[in-house]
Amino acid sequence: MSGPVEGTDHFDLLWVYLQQEPLLWLTATLAAYAIGHALHRATGGSPLVNSVAVAIALLVAVLAVSGTSYATYFDGAQFVHFLLGPATVLLAVPLYRNFSRVRRLLVPMLAALLAGSVTAVVSAVAVAGVLGGSRETLLSLAPKSATTPIAMGIAEEIGGLASLTATLVIITGIIGAMIVTPLLNALRVTDWAARGFAVGVASHGIGAARAFQVNQLAGTFAGIAMALNALLTALLVPLLVGWI
């Protein structure tokens, strides 16, 4: 052995290489999700073991331990993030397949959308406000049920912190995906369209991802709900924000 110094040099060079290339953090993102997915399956598909939550917890731990900045991580992970756009366009496929059912249920859909969208904004701000949340936190929280890019845009417009909003949006998605099945079973809402639509309004794409795992029709309605609620939240939040 020529001593630990040389070994450390090699390791440093390797680490420098890995930090500069997107490969490492792209691989880590997929690996963390694969572990989350495996755990989800191992528990018999329990909604309480959420693949996204497991993956995020693992990656946060790895970044913290290795002293890697979020910006460095995102350089690699952005390739996965980018696919959100094409995936949104893909929602046209289940939407087309179920189009006649969607058209028939237009009135219940729009009534539920309006009620759900107002509830999402008002209840989040009211609960956090009563418990002493700061103004900046409340403004960042208001659009939390809309999908990430839209919620961030709204937060910016009303004086919240866009990057905090992005985090709150993801947490909202994970909570919704975890509680939707037991909650709607308890409320005896048996219809797949109603169940999917509800989780899409409350929890955008992560809710839709959960709905697609359970039932194709539920996933379709969750996708529609996500798109409609993104639009309505963008209109509602600036109107309601005068009261915060």
Partner 1 sequence: MVHAILALLVCQLLGEIIVRAAGIPIPGPVLGTLLMLGALAALREVPEELNAVAGVLLSHLSLLFVPAGVGVILHVARIRAEWLPLLAGLFLSTALTIAVTALVFFRVMRKMGLQEAEPEP
> In whole angstroms, what is the distance from residue 128 CA to residue 244 CA?
11
> In whole angstroms, what is the distance from residue 32 CA to residue 57 CA?
9
> In whole angstroms, what is the distance from residue 84 CA to residue 205 CA?
9
**170-197: string of b/e by CB count within 10 Å (b at 16+)?**
bebbbbbbbebbeebeeeeeeebbbbbb
Task: Identify whether the C-beta of residue 225 lies closer than 8 Å to the C-beta of residue 193.
Answer: no
> Exactly one of 8, 46, 111, 135 binds partner 1 (CB under 8 A); which one?
111
Q: Residues 184-223 vs partner 1: string with x where CB under 8 A?
A: xx-x-xxxxxxx-xxx-xxx-xx-xxx-xxxx-x-x----
Stretch that binds partner 1, among 7-15, 16-24, 41-49, 78-86 (CB under 8 A): 78-86
Q: Does 237 bind partner 1 (CB under 8 A)?
A: no
- For partner 1, how many residues bind (rule: CB under 8 A)? 117
Stretch that binds partner 1, among 1-9, 15-23, 47-55 (CB under 8 A): 47-55
Stretch that binds partner 1, among 1-9, 16-24, 41-49, 115-123 (CB under 8 A): 115-123
Stretch that binds partner 1, among 5-13, 16-24, 41-49, 224-232 (CB under 8 A): 224-232
Q: Is the CB of 12 or the CB of 81 nearer to partner 1?
A: 81
| Structure tokens, 210 | 């959960």
- Enumerate long-range contacts of 82-89, CB under 8 Å, 24 or more apart: 84/148, 84/149, 84/205, 87/205, 88/205, 88/227
Q: Does 88 bind partner 1 (CB under 8 A)?
A: yes
Q: Does 145 bind partner 1 (CB under 8 A)?
A: yes
Q: How far is the CB of 225 from partner 1 (least distance, A)?
A: 8
Q: Residues 14-33 vs partner 1: string with x where CB under 8 A?
A: ---------------xx-xx
| Structure tokens, 33 | 């999700």
Q: Is the CB of 158 or the CB of 172 nearer to partner 1?
A: 172
> Exactly one of 18, 47, 66, 129 binds partner 1 (CB under 8 A); which one?
129
Cα R_g (the chain), whole angstroms: 21
Q: Following DSSP, what letter does each residue of 90-116 receive, concatenated? A: HTHHHHHHTHHHHHHTHHHHHHHHHHH
Q: How far, in whole angstroms, is CA 64 from its chain's centroid?
A: 22
Q: Does 83 bind partner 1 (CB under 8 A)?
A: yes
Q: Does 124 bind partner 1 (CB under 8 A)?
A: yes
Q: Does 112 bind partner 1 (CB under 8 A)?
A: yes
Q: Is the CB of 199 or the CB of 241 nearer to partner 1?
A: 199
